[in-house]
Structure 1
Amino acid sequence: MITFYKNASMYVDGDQLETRNLLIDSDKGKVLDISPSYINEKGADEVIDLNNQLVIPGMVDLHIHLREPGGEKKETIETGTMAAARGGFTTVAAMPNTRPVPDTVENFTMIKEKMTEKGHVRVLPYASITIRQLGETITDMTDLAKHGAFAFTDDGVGVQQAGKMYEAMKLASEVGLPVVAHCEDNSLLFGGAVHKGVFSEKSNIPGILSVSESVHIARDVLLAEATGAHYHVCHVSTKESVRVIRDAKKAGIHVTAEVTPHHLILSEDDIPSDDSNYKMNPPLRGEDDRQALIEGLLDGTLDFIATDHAPHTAEEKQQSMINAPYGIVGLEIAYPLLYTKLVKENIMTEKQLIDWLTVKPAQAFNLPYGELKKGGAAEFTIIDRSKTAKVNPASFYSKGKNTPFTDVSLQAWPTMTVYNGKVAWQESTEGAAK
């Protein structure tokens, strides 16, 4: 089936928007042509007028939690990938904190098959660094790589022993895959639940030291230098971490790093009360940390944006911040959230935002995604830059409704997501999410 999308607004060269027409082979999932001129649409089976809505490459999120298998009350592969499609993501990478953990070829293959069978978009499967993410026994990285692991991580827990991390990096380097790290030194946590700062003091909630993150990063970049591994830092949250990563890059160490929308937009100053929708790991830090993250993204120290979509049940999140689990959801609101809070505030350009959500994560991991070009994959997202709506968790496809952005008015919402040539999600004619 040939589909003709006309009157698309696209970034072609630099920061200039131009009108383009797209001819798509929906059966083969390929872009036949992208043209500034009028393509004869008579041969098309379907014609869709986009009315100058923005068209961007399918977005790439290399840090989400799908929970299945083992945590289906929180999320499933089906609900999580539908949330991804609604948010404009066509490629996501699922963290391995499932039960069982993808720590053996048997477990990994079983989970990978579920992702292929149930996913509404592409799901890249991480394998764990250690058996059961316990930080003790390194997995068979060679065998896991042969069976399709695209990277290794124990996300959710930091590898505590330097010797184990060294061993893991050495093995990962041999198979040519990245080691992806949740950076947290457990000996420096002291029972903390939020950032150790003004909010923790006035709320009498134990605080998490910034140095618990930056110490691990400092250790790991030196291990990466010693082993030649590609080392990737998850959800950077502190100014000290940004400084360490910047210095490591200057030294020629192969380190990449990501930052989340919530750490770019919120600080501890925005936490209104003991509300666990503001509890995530790493926690919301100080305003000086937030500014350092923005600066790090703008100067290339931080490579891309990832949501760290972490769904939980309503019952779990109704607890106090001390007892509730860490994490918020983010897939379905990422683009309008970042557009409204950062692009409209002239902190970054729209083209920069698009790159940090598409081509930049793909480039960091040497993946063939995040681009839209003639002859390439027909994976793209259509965004209505004029649409304004309030965040309504009740409309989410995700089982998780845990977000601090409820009722916040945002602009520039996805209206259609095309994956492998076919519509993976489309806004209904009534304008509802589903």
Structure 2
Amino acid sequence: MRGLAGRRTRRALAAAGVVLLLAASACTGGDDDPEAARVEVFTWWAEGGEKAGMDALVSRFTADCAGQQFTDAAVAGGAGINAKQVLTARLAQNDPPDTFQAHAGAELTDYIDAGRVEDLTGEYDEWGLRDALPQGLIDDLTVDGKIYSIPANVHRANVVWSNPQVLSEAGIHAEPKTITAFLGDLEKLRKAGIEAPLALGRDWTQLMLLEAVLITKLGAERFAGLFTGATSWNSSAVSAGIRDFDKLVKYSNADRDSMDWPDAERLLIDGRAGYQLMGDWEAADLTAKGFPAYDWFTFPGNGDAFQWLADSFVLATGAPNPDGTKCWLSTVASAEGQRAFNAAKGSIPARTDTPTDGFSAYQLAAVEDWKAATPVPSCAHGSACSQAWQNAVNTALSAYSTTHHSVVALQKALAAAATQFVKQE
């Protein structure tokens, strides 16, 4: 475990609130300049390291795009669950923002198929992005020969964050290499009186944990096959993974289904939890909240699998200010924009030529891991599955966690979702 062994240390809104969220999304950011053209940027980056990253990017945009004014349309809510509801309502009313955040990969196909986003292939050529981005990422972004989004970063999902002091006081001084060892450490924490050995939040955070377990059980290639039809959700390996997932959930906080990820993170910061599995945006968020002494490791048994997701921006069809939006997108795509954004947000640049000055110890390690690791997509964050499929999986996990607690019923629901959506994609 980095640091413990002498190595380097380191809001759920109901659907009924959509009208209020729509009103909130009209709020503006920055100085009110009546002479400036406005670019409305729709995201779910409303707090912590995510908000710090956005602020850094806005500063670059202001410097790069004279005469354009950033308009903040952020809607709070982990992984964009609430924001996506608001965005869907706005698009249905033909009231698109100029640009909106979306996870790169399979999630974006929903917007492409609906004609909600414009082709940006020409901008890739004009801005030299084919040379600056990894070919594999460009391949993942290309749909029928066209590219529709600009990735701002790459995040890693399969990371476990820890409170070293809590672990040390429970007699834990080494990184667990297997799920069995991890379960043993969680039991030590429970016996030491820790309220929630494993901090956990609502549905999508539970999906992240399940995915990490399944990567261990299946390996990178077979895990990816769960979302292409190459691997069966009814297999014995998946059954074993879900049983291990069930064991891990039993060491989590009982109020997990009412928590977003920052709430679960607070358990870690306050010493009421030992571990939390969360994407690496947590590194910047922990630092921003005054807890820089965290530690981290890749989920036990995941090996060199780098479960990736990428935040990207699009040019919305019918955008009120397409020229200003393209200037925003060019800032997002630029090496300096990506350096400023990622240094603050805690992710790493999508570009391979971006300077890394100002990056944290975690980010520098992640940059090196990304060069050598095996990339694995994430359904929880849209790189592996469509939004509709993700919703079905989250519904299945919510039912498991709050109602039936049955691993058999959970596997049946996951297999049923795969049968439905693999046929459609």
Q: Could you say which structure has the greater relative contact order, defined with CA pairs below 8 angstroms and 6 or more residues apart?
A: 2
TM-score, normalised relative to structure 1: 0.24
More strand by share: 1
